[in-house]
Amino acid sequence: MNPASERWHPNDCSKCPIPDILLANADPNMELKLTIKRGFLGFTRTLDVKAFDKRSGDPIADPYVGNLNREDNPGLEIFRRALEDNDGPSPD
C-alpha cells in the first residue's frame, strides 16, 4: 500500500503500465511502486511508476529495461554473451 497514492479504482487498470513492465522485464529483484495522483480539479488521474532494486534500494531509471548496473543479472549476462558471439568478423 502506498500512503502517498490515491485509492485504486477499477478504471485505473486500463492505464496501468505495470503489466507491460513485467512482460518486458521480469527481474525478481525489481520492486515497483505505483502512485496514483489526482489531476486538475480531480477530473483526471495519473499513474506514476517508480522502480527500485530490492537488494540495494537504488532507483532504476527505466523499469522496462531494468537495472543495467547489476553484474549478477542473468538476463543481461545472456544478452551480453549473445552480443559477444556476434562481434566476430563479418562475412564478405
pLDDT at residue 73, rounded to an integer? 66
Report residue 90 as a C-alpha cell. 563479418
Amino acid, single-letter form, for residue 80: R
Report residue 72 as a C-alpha cell. 549478477
Q: First-to-last CA distance in the chain?
A: 58
16-63 pLDDT, tens digit per residue, is: 999 999 999 878 889 999 999 988 887 889 999 999 999 889 999 999
pLDDT at residue 90, rounded to an integer? 59
Higher pLDDT, 23 or 72: 23
Average pLDDT on 3-26 reads 89
46 phi and psi, to 5 degrees? Answer: -115, 130
**What are the structural domain ranges in the chain?**
10-85
